[in-house]
Structure 1
Amino acid sequence: MWLRSRLQLVPVFAAVATVALGLFTVPDSGGPTSAGSARSSGTSRPDTRGVVLAVHGGAGSALIREETSPEKEKAYRDGLAGALRAGQKVLRGGGSSVDAVEAAVRALEDNELFNAGKGAVFNEDAGHELDASIMRGSDQAAGAVAAVRNVRNPISAARLVMEKSRHVLMVGEGADDFAERHGLKPVTQDYYWTQRRWDALMKAKNPGRPQTKASRAEDEQAMGTVGAVAVDRRRDLAAATSTGGLTNKLAGRVGDSPIIGAGTYAKNDTVAASATGQGEVFIRGAATATISNLIEFDDMDVTSAAREVLIERLPRLGGDGGVIALGPDGEFAAPHSSQGLLHGYLTADGTIVTKIFLDESPPGARGR
């Protein structure tokens, strides 16, 4: 372990130097990058290396190329790229990885395309209850909120819990009040209302109603969650996750997104991870903490550990989903057992890549 960590410092110094010099430039999004070779024989192949920030827009959310209009493609790519640029601005200015993931997730929460913040889905009572968490890898400090109803950006409320309280998780009205007392202006429930989420609720309440391909795709996108992972110039990791939950969920239901070790985890020596999928299974499988433990105790690389959990273990518990996982050396993987995973990443040289179509990240294809 000591030798491997020392060897990893060589590429890290190069990436950090690039960030420190402020050489971020952003070309058009959507282009592929070549994946790096595996660390050694028998290890999995990462999606890419040299990543400083990555985001996701939910598992089961990827689009079908032939059925997607150019306008819709642009909207989703712009949404992911906009979140990456928000985090990039922070990192380029010398901000921390915590600052970067908060900025990236806030951008996704403000975009009604995604199931978080403004675009949150409805629960069974036609209300909105939102969850979020954030974790700092340097000392494993963490904060989370669950079932909040009046916070515009739940990820910022989660950070307040981490930094302004002695707690890790606050829920419901108490969390809403805490956020307001610490400067977050409240919003009313109608702030989150969107027509497409209302239509999804109506379909969920009428399961016998015939569905078109478009409505099935909309239902899948309603399962989504957003998240971000980052490494800064000090080589500190951070992760953040935010969600509106499941369409037509029981009032009071909480999934994995605000649960540290299930939906979110960050530890400097191992990984920053943000998960999305069937939350109950991610909780039972302690998904993101298990990825970290496999790296720390089984000497796995980031990609192998993430694949082990997402592709091998969680499906045996009866659920699927995806994760974005980032190591301190910039190794990045986004394995998923779900049909798709909307995600994108930013490399140290400023390249932004977004993946929104099923054929850009087929389930289980990466890391073999």
Structure 2
Amino acid sequence: MDPIVLVHGGSGYIPASRVPLKIAGCKKAVLEGYKVFEKGGSSLDAVEAAVRVMEDDPAFNAGYGSVLNIDGEIEMDASIMTGNNLRAGAVTIVKDVAHPISLARLVMEKTKHVLLGGEGCKKFAIKHGVQILPPGALVTEQAKQVLEYYKEFGGDFTEIGSNNKKGEVGTVGAVAIDSNGLLSVATSTGGISGKLPGRCSDTSQIGAGSYADNCNGVVSTTGHGEAIAQFCLAHAIIKAIESGKTAQKATTDCIETLTKHFNKTAGAITLSKSGDVGIHFSSKSMAWAYRLKHELHYGVERDQHEIEKLQN
């Protein structure tokens, strides 16, 4: 089987000035994830590597670049999962950690739990040698501006017909299949600008933000977190594949159903167990990219699908 790494950089409204940054960041993440395969690594290693790239990139709402809660602080969520044994790890309300996705993997591999949050998660991180950054180290000027706009005007970036054009919501995620057929997913986010302190997003909830099942497929989602959590979007897409739908059909149908029911937008990236790709979003934009063999595929607007040939 030919390995694939597929990433998204979050759905929502993306200002024109930031579109090139999103595309470049997604391309970089895909190529970094694919390097893992070239070195003999697994799909789990690949999705973690890809998401770490986006957590370091201020163009994305994850890690450095995360949006701020109403008190002006960053609280991040992440989840990771493998499809062969349904093992998963997640973290929520994480502060001052550069790579929440790697912390989620530690939860999966070093504990009997699926989800850790808050102060307990911080103690766990310190115990396992994760660096705790100085308060505010992950805050960007963009995040400050978006919060100030939210405080003055409010608004919901994910509501159909919204006129709020100041900033974008989003999440980053990666799904992959390796040459052994192992499916893995990693998803990470800073959440929603202006959220209440202590809010846990869909990204930290297995079945909502992430799901992997070698019998069917793998999914990472983005968009309105509460709607995604209520709909269990990632798991819904997997069940649709199980019912016989293609990865693309399952992804499209589930997102459109969620959007119709909640009047909120969402997006997702999907791979089936055979490596078929599914990409769909009901928001205006969602940056995405994937590598298959010597081709790099990417897009950001609806119906956009660019293909770049890579050197051998």
TM-score by length of structure 2 reads 0.91
**Residue 360 of structure 1 aligns to which amino acid in structure 2?**
Q
Contact 1:323 1:335 in 2 (8 A): yes
Alpha-carbon distance between aligned partners in 1 of 2:19 and 2:266, rounded to the nearest angstrom: 22
Alpha-carbon distance between aligned partners in 2 of 1:125 and 1:196, rounded to the nearest angstrom: 16
Contact 2:10 2:287 in 1 (8 A): yes
Q: Tell me, yes or no, if structure 1 residue 321 matches structure 2 residue 255.
A: no
Aligned positions of 1:59-70 closer than 5 A: 59-62=11-14, 64=16, 68=17
Q: Which has the higher strand share?
A: 2
Q: Which of 78, 84, 87 is residue 138 of structure 1 equivalent to?
A: 84
Q: 1:151 maps to what in 2?
A: 97
Aligned positions of 1:204-215 closer than 5 A: 204-207=150-153
Q: Which of 73, 76, 84 is residue 127 of structure 1 equivalent to?
A: 73
Alpha-carbon distance between aligned partners in 1 of 2:283 and 2:147, rounded to the nearest angstrom: 22
3-state secondary structure, aligned to 1:344? strand
Q: Which of 271, 290, 293 is residue 345 of structure 1 equivalent to?
A: 290
Q: Which has the higher helix share?
A: 1
3-state secondary structure, aligned to 2:152? coil
Output one character per residue of 1:13-67: Cα deviation in whole Å (capped at 9) or x when no partner.
Answer: xx2xxx6xxxxxxxxxxxxxxxxxxxxxxxxxxxxxxxx0111111114454xxx
Q: Tell me, yes or no, if structure 1 residue 111 matches structure 2 residue 57.
A: yes
3-state secondary structure, aligned to 1:135? strand
Q: 2:227 maps to what in 1?
A: 281
Specify whether residues 178 and 227 from structure 1 end up closer, same or farther in structure 2 by C-alpha distance, changes over 3 A only.
same
Q: Which of 253, 258, 281 is residue 308 of structure 1 equivalent to?
A: 253
Q: 2:279 maps to what in 1?
A: 334
Output one character per residue of 1:257-311: Cα deviation in whole Å (capped at 9) or x when no partner.
Answer: 0100001000011111000010111111111111111222x22221221112101
Output one character per residue of 1:75-104: Cα deviation in whole Å (capped at 9) or x when no partner.
Answer: 332211110111011011111111000000
Between 305-314 and 107-116, report the one with greater CA deviation: 305-314
Contact 1:61 1:342 in 2 (8 A): no
Q: Tell me, yes or no, if structure 1 residue 291 matches structure 2 residue 237.
A: yes
- Residue 360 of structure 1, CA deviation: 2.0
Alpha-carbon distance between aligned partners in 2 of 1:62 and 1:357, rounded to the nearest angstrom: 10
Percent identical pairs in the alignment equals: 38
- Residue 251 of structure 1, CA deviation: 0.6
Contact 1:150 1:176 in 2 (8 A): no
Structure 2 spans left out of the alignment, 5+ residues: 156-162, 306-312
- Residue 183 of structure 1, CA deviation: 1.8
Alpha-carbon distance between aligned partners in 2 of 1:261 and 1:163, rounded to the nearest angstrom: 19
- Residue 350 of structure 1, CA deviation: 2.5
Alpha-carbon distance between aligned partners in 1 of 2:183 and 2:89, rounded to the nearest angstrom: 15
Alpha-carbon distance between aligned partners in 2 of 1:79 and 1:116, rounded to the nearest angstrom: 12
Q: Which of 161, 181, 200 is residue 254 of structure 1 equivalent to?
A: 200
Alpha-carbon distance between aligned partners in 1 of 2:268 and 2:302, rounded to the nearest angstrom: 16
- Residue 353 of structure 1, CA deviation: 2.1
- Residue 320 of structure 1, CA deviation: 1.5
Q: Which of 178, 182, 185 is residue 232 of structure 1 equivalent to?
A: 178
Q: Which of 343, 347, 355 is residue 299 of structure 2 equivalent to?
A: 355
Greater Cα radius of gyration, structure 1 or 2: 1
**Residue 333 of structure 1 aligns to which amino acid in structure 2?**
G
Alpha-carbon distance between aligned partners in 1 of 2:87 and 2:253, rounded to the nearest angstrom: 26
Q: 2:308 maps to what in 1?
A: none
Aligned positions of 1:43-192 closer than 5 A: 52-62=4-14, 64=16, 68=17, 72-192=18-138
- Residue 206 of structure 1, CA deviation: 0.5
How many positions carry a matched residue from both structures?
Answer: 298
Structure 1 spans left out of the alignment, 5+ residues: 1-11, 20-51, 210-214, 362-368
Alpha-carbon distance between aligned partners in 1 of 2:114 and 2:137, rounded to the nearest angstrom: 27
**Residue 353 of structure 1 aligns to which amino acid in structure 2?**
H
Contact 1:114 1:120 in 2 (8 A): yes
Contact 2:149 2:166 in 1 (8 A): no
**Residue 138 of structure 2 aligns to which amino acid in structure 1?**
Y
- Residue 343 of structure 1, CA deviation: 0.8
Contact 1:91 1:100 in 2 (8 A): yes
Aligned-residue Cα RMSD (Å) equals 1.8
TM-score by length of structure 1 reads 0.77
